A and B are shown apart, each in its own frame.
Chain A
Amino acid sequence: MISELGLAALWLATALAGLQLFAGVMGQRADGVAGGAITALVRPAAALQALLCVLSFGLLVVLFLQTDLSVALVANNSHSAKPFIFKLAGAWGNHEGSMLLWVTVMALAGGLIALLERRLPEKTILATLAAQAFLCLGFYFFILASSNPFERLVPAPVEGAGMNPLLQDIGVAIHPPMLYLGYVGLSVAFSFAVGALVTRQVTPDFARIMRPWVLSAWIFLTLGITAGSYWAYYELGWGGWWFWDPTENASLMPWLAATALLHSVSVLASRDALRTWTVLLGVVAFSMSMLGTFLVRSGILTSVHAFAVDPERGSIILFLLALYIGGALVLFALRANTISEGERFSAFSREGALVFNNVALSALLGIVLLGTLYPLLTEAFDVKVSVGPPYFNPVGAVFLMPMLAILAVGPMLRWRRDTFARVKWPVVTVTVAGLLVLVGVSIVADIGLLPLLGIAMGIVVGIGSVLPLLGRSMRRLPLATWGMVVAHLGVAVSLFGMGTDTAFTTEKLVAARVGDTTQVGPYQVTLDAVYPVAGPNWVSLEANLAASYQGGSPTKIAPQSRSFWAPPQQTSESALLTRWNGQLYAVIGGEAPSDGGADRWQLRLWWKPFVNWIWYGGALIALGGLLSLIGRIANDLKRRAAKARGDARREEIAA
């Protein structure tokens, strides 16, 4: 019954999306704002649609919590013995459920625009909501045609098949919803861009209204990528935090586009420049989200995330991709020349720096995109290749490093036009600091060029990011400026962590007897015991390790090698010991073959200096976004309240 209700809600939402699209388009045809009574239905349709989608998704969650095995999706992905949190996360830890989450977020974004946005011309909002409805329709169609999460299974099995053990981790409860809020949140930017193009309203107002939406999506995307990176780091047991795996690239590409959009939208909002470019980025950002979904969902890449291997699904997503991206680009091509030129600016100005940022981010996006698609292209010619760090790291650095150098000074520049003399001292400071670190580190340690540059740039950006605070009253400083400073500082922190971890990680691989001590970095690790343990749906071999930092008092850590039985599979549960300046990372393998003595156990230990700073940095970047978002919204509310007061007074005077 619950399942049928969920499906009915989804069908109703589809019908409402159809109505919303039709009414929104009618609103464009008619003269003036009110295109007849039907346009009044657009906003209620969007809100109701959001409600129905949330209901539908909520019902799927209920099915998973109840472990209703008569529903095929639950039977295939869940198990009654699974802990509560994974039953909950099981609702979106699979193809169908995650697509339902996708449309739910999309409909929710549309509903929120319908309820909250009243500042733009009504016609533009109608066009925006029509575009959002058009996007939703495609994905409803996709779900109903090929990925129905509510399909029944007759007869119902006695027990479910369980969930991929690699996914049975708290990460699955956090990472996918965050990423989806980010991915799909960008659909708002897409729809706003289409709305602005259709009604020729590419104005600073449009940018100001779009900005909080883009910012919100970007915050979630940042958190999603950060959480995903940390999850892969501790769950896969390889000690790496970024693998240039296509599924990771699929989330990085929208982030790069969204970051560029965020910066160009602020140029448009503050200075009325970069109009065409901002609109194009709005289209590109969500296109990258859809491309990522196509890559991950179609099964064209075979990887942890590619649960679905089904050509029908792939071809529908490919069709939607072509329709939406192609359609938006055609619209852009038709309308781009009607967008008049914005304000001019000198090359040496805040705008100039932001243009540089945008061009570099676009170049990075292109590099990641080409590297991700290249193996698919060559496969068409029967040549199998894989593209990894030897490509992405150096080629990316060619554009990343100059961009970071500009980042260190860009925020200090004035809008429109500035002189070098005014920023001479900050530039000299960061340059000298960068060179000192570069020379100092290369004398002390023999490390690769890229990590060396990463460390030096981390310091440069770190200093550069706080320089805008100098000489300003901390209390008076707008929250949005704090946001920028914190986010840029986050970039520096993260970069420093990446550089130091890459350069100075030490690894030990040993076959240890109980009682043996291994030195790894500053840690002495003693194997105290190895024993079996049992969990709710697994049994495991656990090692008891005592780790002491530079001879200090030992801390116990216990890595496990787990065997799940539903489905039967093994995973390594790493054990981590975090300090402010790095992490000890321990993994237990299996029993090593006997050499005649006592039993030996395979241990892999890493000392990873400052590796945790990578994710602290990611969190700081997101926090910066949040501060900026709060600042913008607070400003906005203040302005609205002032306007309302002014209006009231004028009415009083008139009366």
Chain B
Amino acid sequence: MTSAFKPKHQRLMLLALALVVLIGATLLAAWALRSQASFFYVPSEMAANPPEPGATVRLGGMVEEGSLKTLPDGVTIEFVVGDGEARVPVVFRGLLPDLFVEGSGVVADGSLQPDGTFAAKELLAKHDENYMPRELADMDMAQKQQVVAETE
């Protein structure tokens, strides 16, 4: 047992143990982050370089005008997310977020299906001026710049 060691040694043992565990935790975390973090795609990226079917990713873009429809069961919703270059059909079962409207931005959490539709588990829409998914905040800024560039 450690009590057989000199005081100095016990201190070193404790330190070594703590370091080993903490470094282990860091390595494990780094490895898990690389494999488990979900990447963010806009439709054109998803078209050019699709993620593996079934992998959890986020899709962000604009809900296309006129694309929103509810299936006969009354709770499954289909719509198309676009970014001006590509379009991705999305299917979602659930209650729409309060500020979800056509022509506005959305971030969908889910996975790409083998048939090319995106099955969303959760929709993150802008709640108000102060609360929106960070991807959406950046996207709106980029889009504003695009609009400015187009009008000039």
Contacts and interface: CB of A to CB of B under 8 A. Distances in A.
Interface size class of A (residues with CB under 8 A): 35 or more
A355 B2 CA distance: 13
A577 interface: no
A85 interface: no
A571 B99 CA distance: 9
Contacts of B37: 374-375, 378, 385-387, 391
B150 interface: no
A301 B14 contact: no
Residue among A304, A394, A395, A590 facing the most chain B CB atoms (10 A cut-off): A395
Given A302-B134, A385-B38, A595-B72, A604 B8 contact: no
Interface stretch (A127-135, A217-225, A284-292, A362-370): A362-370
A345 B3 contact: yes
B22 interface: yes
Interface class of chain A by DSSP: mixed
Contacts of B40: 384-386
A567 interface: yes
A375 B36 CA distance: 12
Residue among A306, A360, A367 facing the most chain B CB atoms (10 A cut-off): A367
10 contacts: A164-B131, A166-B131, A277-B14, A341-B8, A347-B1, A383-B39, A388-B56, A509-B93, A567-B129, A590-B95
Given A384-B40, A394-B32, A398-B28, 15 more contacts: A237-B95, A303-B131, A344-B10, A359-B21, A366-B25, A366-B26, A370-B26, A371-B29, A374-B37, A391-B36, A395-B28, A417-B3, A509-B95, A572-B95, A592-B74
A592 B94 CA distance: 11
A517 interface: no
Nearest to B28: A395
A307 B130 contact: yes
Contacts of A32: none
Contacts of A600: 74
Contact of A370 (B33, B70, B129): B33
A355 B17 CA distance: 10
Contacts of A509: 75, 93-95
A348 interface: yes
A66 interface: no
B140 to A, nearest CB: 11
A589 interface: yes
Interface string B18-30: 1001101110111
B21 A363 contact: yes
Contacts of A571: 98
Nearest to A568: B128
Interface size class of B (residues with CB under 8 A): 35 or more
A506 interface: no
Nearest to A387: B37
A366 B33 contact: no
Given A362-B18, A390-B56, A589-B95, A302 B73 contact: no
Contacts of B36: 387, 390-391, 394-395
Interface in B122-137: 122, 127-135, 137
A643 B122 CA distance: 63
A307 B72 CA distance: 40
B74 A587 contact: no
Contacts of A391: 32-33, 36-37
B137 to A, nearest CB: 5
Nearest to A417: B3
Contacts of A384: 39-40, 58, 135, 138
A167 B125 CA distance: 18
A511 interface: yes
A403 B134 CA distance: 35
A149 to B, nearest CB: 18
A506 B119 CA distance: 20
Nearest to A390: B36
A385 B39 contact: yes
Interface string A166-183: 100000000000000000
Contact of B128 (A164, A388, A587, A602): A164
B7 interface: yes
Nearest to A386: B38
Contacts of A301: 134
Nearest to B55: A390
A378 B34 CA distance: 11
B95 A604 contact: yes
A164 B74 contact: no
Contacts, number: 148
Contacts of B95: 237, 509, 572, 587, 589-590, 602, 604
B72 to A, nearest CB: 6
B86 interface: no
Contact of B25 (A238, A346, A363): A363
B96 interface: yes
Contact of A341 (B11, B72, B130): B11
Contacts of B29: 366-367, 370-371, 395
B33 A371 contact: yes
B87 to A, nearest CB: 20
Given A363-B21, A387-B36, A592-B75, A604 B94 contact: yes
Contacts of A309: 130
Interface string A583-604: 0000101101101000010101
Contacts of B75: 509-511, 589, 592, 602
A360 B21 CA distance: 8
Contacts of A355: 14, 17
Residue among B11, B17, B122, B130 facing the most chain A CB atoms (10 A cut-off): B130
A338 interface: no
Nearest to A596: B72
Interface in A542-588: 567, 569-572, 587
Nearest to A363: B25
Contacts of A570: 98-99
Contacts of B128: 164, 567, 569
Contact of A386 (B58, B127, B130, B138): B58
Contacts of A398: 28
Contact of A363 (B22, B30, B96, B99): B22
A585 B89 CA distance: 31
Nearest to A594: B74
Interface in B28-70: 28-30, 32-33, 36-40, 56, 58, 70
Nearest to B131: A304
Interface string A418-442: 0000000000000000000000000
A346 B2 contact: yes
A142 interface: no
Contacts of A504: none
Contacts of A417: 1, 3
